[in-house]
A and B are shown apart, each in its own frame.
Chain A
Amino acid sequence: MNPLQTSRVAVRALTRNKLRSLLTTLGVVIGVWAVIAMVALGEGAKARVQQSFEAMGSNMLIILPGTSSRGGAMGGFGSLPTLTWDDLKAIRTEAPAVRYAAANLRSAAQLASEDLNWTTQVTGTSPDFFSIRNWGISQGALFSQSDVDSGAKVVVLGQTVVDKLFGPSANPVGQSLRIKNVPFTVVGVLEKKGQSAMGQDNDDTAIIPETTFQSKIQSVGLQKFINGAILVGAASQEATNSALSQVSLLLRDRHHIQPGMDDDFNVRNLTEMASAFESQATTMTLLLALIAAVSLVVGGIGIMNIMLVSVTERTREIGVRMAVGAKPRHILSQFLVEALALSLAGGLIGIALGLVTGQVVAVKAGWPMVVRADVIVLAVTFSALVGVVFGLYPALKASRLDPIDALRYE
Chain B
Amino acid sequence: MAQPPLISLEQVTKVYKMGEVEVRALRGVSLAIGEGDFVAVMGASGSGKSTLMNIVGCLDRPTSGRYLLDGQEVGNLGRDQLAEIRNRTIGFVFQSFNLLSRTSALENVELPLIYADVPSRERRERAAEALTRVGLGERLDHHPNQLSGGQQQRVAIARALVTRSKLILADEPTGNLDSRSSVEIMALFQELGRSGITIALVTHEPDIAEYAARVVVFKDGRIRSDERHTPKQAVPAADPLEAEEAQA
Residues of A bordering B, CB below 8 Å: 1-2, 5, 16, 316-317, 319-330, 403-404, 407
Contact = CB atoms under 8 A, between A and B. Distances in A.
A325 B116 contact: yes
Interface residues of B, number: 25
B100 A1 contact: no
A325 B54 contact: no
Q: What 10 A-B pairs are tightest by C-beta distance, nearest first?
A: A325-B87, A324-B112, A325-B115, A327-B83, A320-B98, A327-B80, A323-B92, A403-B59, A326-B115, A404-B59
A397 to B, nearest CB: 15
A368 to B, nearest CB: 49
Nearest to A12: B103
Nearest to B83: A327
A321 B114 CA distance: 10
The A interface is mostly helix, strand or loop, or mixed, namely: helix
B114 A5 contact: yes
A323 B115 contact: no
A1 to B, nearest CB: 6
B246 to A, nearest CB: 32
Interface of B: 54, 57, 59-60, 79-80, 83-84, 86-88, 92, 94, 98-100, 102, 111-112, 114-117, 159, 163
A320 B114 CA distance: 13
Contacts of A16: 102
Contacts of B92: 323-324
Contacts of B84: 325, 327
A322 B114 CA distance: 12
B98 A407 contact: yes
14 contacts: A317-B100, A320-B98, A320-B111, A321-B111, A322-B59, A323-B57, A323-B86, A323-B92, A324-B163, A325-B86, A325-B163, A327-B83, A330-B115, A404-B54
A325 to B, nearest CB: 2
B59 A1 contact: no
A324 B159 contact: yes
B217 to A, nearest CB: 22
B197 to A, nearest CB: 16
Nearest to B54: A404
B87 A1 contact: no
A324 B86 contact: yes
A328 B80 contact: yes
Nearest to B84: A325
